[in-house]
Amino acid sequence: MVHARPGERRAGLASVRPTIDLDPTDVEVYGPKKEGVAFNHAGQRVGRPHPAVWAEAGVVLCDDLGSGTSDPRPQAPSLINRAIAALPAGLLRPIVRADSGSFDQKVARAALANGADFAIVAKRTAAAWRACREIPEDSWQSAKAMEAEVAECDDRPAGWPEGTRCVVRRAPVRSDELSGDLRSRRRRTIDPKQLALLEESEIGVAYAYSFILTNLDWEAVEVEAWFRMRALVEEKIKDAKLGAALRHLPSGFEAVNRTSMWSAFLALNVSVFLQSLTGADTGPEGRAHGKRLRRELIAVPARVFRRAGRLVVRVAPEHRSGVFADAWAALGAMTSYAGP
């Protein structure tokens, strides 16, 4: 099996192992009679889309809609099956990447059953803390592009596939960075023994830990650096909310809200396709979010008329060069080669 490792030069998507990110997100609603919604752990009444995103291409492959109490784990195997089936032929072996909401050996086995590898954030259990404390100090290596260190520990929860490894990252937390709020997420990432010493000012620095269970055979530092790119899918979800109206589930009927959700994700995908086809995502600012896309490519002032049987688009002077002009020329060149 050929691995496209982080840092390698890539000629295109076909030379990269496709990553499928599972990332549920909550969409707050306010109608108490809406179907298919519920209160989440933060006390918000929400619907919960469960998209599976092809990370490198930036497109949503499939999705389910749940409520604020929907557990991502039961939906994950079906999402993995549908997402991998939706990938184009000729790609390298996929990888399923997920946060701790999908921490379940059934999710890992579903990835393997569909011809993919997996990398899933593990919950910080007592067994994980014990294994972490046994890591020799000289085993820690500097992480790439951040103030942190990476190593492996021997934690493999019962039932997980043979060959599962546990990659650990630790990042320093200083006493003045520790929140006094006992509900703070950062506090949960610190070894309880270190946390007690930090709170009592017996040590000046503790470590926040993250655990990744994976069957990838890359170096631990490479696994951690690649997994950190999962933040890109969070940007896609944010763009779907702010740029394609996923911040609303407008109807009282669940079926209508599911259609609305898919409309938002289809708009997100069309945005990606449009920019890829026209080369608009190759500039210094990269791929545009929804708001910038509308300003630069869609909501452009212009006159549209026919002359001698040809469609003519005459845009405002400020758009006769730049992103829109380049995209319009690219689309014109493609359509000129199209058949009748």
pLDDT by residue (tens digit) across 262-277?
A: 999 999 999 888 888 8
Six token digits for residue 255: 């079926």
Phi, psi of 56 (to 5 degrees): -65, -40
CB 131 within 8 A of CB 139: no
Instruction: Please identify which residue in the block is written with the tokens 């820690």.
Output: 140
Has residue 339 got a pLDDT over 70? no
Tokens of 17: 């192992």
Joined together, the tokens standing for residue 316 give: 């405002």
Q: Which amino acid is at 103?
A: F
Mean pLDDT of 163-191: 88
Residue with tokens 């990332």: 23
Indicate whether this model's pTM tops 0.85: yes
- Tokens linked to 164: 């599962």
User: pLDDT digit string (tens) for 48-83?
Assistant: 999 999 999 999 999 999 999 999 999 999 999 999
Q: What share of the chain is helix, strand, coil (3-state, %, to 5)?
A: 40, 20, 40
Over pLDDT 90: what percentage of the chain? 63
Determine the Cα–Cα distance for residues 268 and 134; give it in Å rounded to an integer.
45
SS3 at position 296? helix
Distance CA 208, CA 305 (A): 61
pLDDT digits (tens, 9 = 90+) for 285-317: 777 787 788 888 888 899 999 999 888 889 999
Q: Does the pLDDT at position 147 exceed 70?
A: yes
Residues 6+ apart with CB under 8 A from 178: 184, 186, 187, 198, 199
- Mean pLDDT of all residues belonging to the chain: 89
> Domain map of the chain by residue range?
1-99+230-288, 121-214, 300-336
Tens digits of residue pLDDT in 84-134: 999 999 999 999 999 999 999 999 999 999 999 999 999 999 999 999 999
Output phi, psi for 276, to 5 deg: -70, -40
- In eight-state DSSP terms, residue 137 is G
Q: Residue 12: what pLDDT?
A: 65
Q: What's the mean pLDDT in 211-224?
A: 97
pLDDT over 80 (residue 284) = no
| DSSP 8-state class, residue 312 | E
More confident residue, 333 or 69: 69
Mean pLDDT of the 257-261 span: 96
pLDDT over 70 percentage in the chain: 94
- Alpha-helix runs per DSSP H in the chain: 72-86, 105-113, 126-133, 185-188, 192-199, 220-228, 231-243, 254-278, 290-293, 323-336
Both structure tokens of 178? 């520790």
What the block records as the tokens of 225 is 């650096």
Question: With 80 as the cut, is the pLDDT of residue 27 above it?
Answer: yes
Alpha-carbon distance of 229 to 224, in angstroms, equals 9
What is the mean pLDDT of the segment spanning 149-162? 95
Cα distance between residue 148 and residue 166, in whole Å: 17
Burial string for 23-47 (b: 16+ CB within 10 Å, else e) reads bbbbbebeeeebebbeebeeeebbb
* Cα 16 to Cα 277: distance, rounded to the nearest angstrom: 19
CA distance linking residue 25 with residue 338, whole number of Å: 40
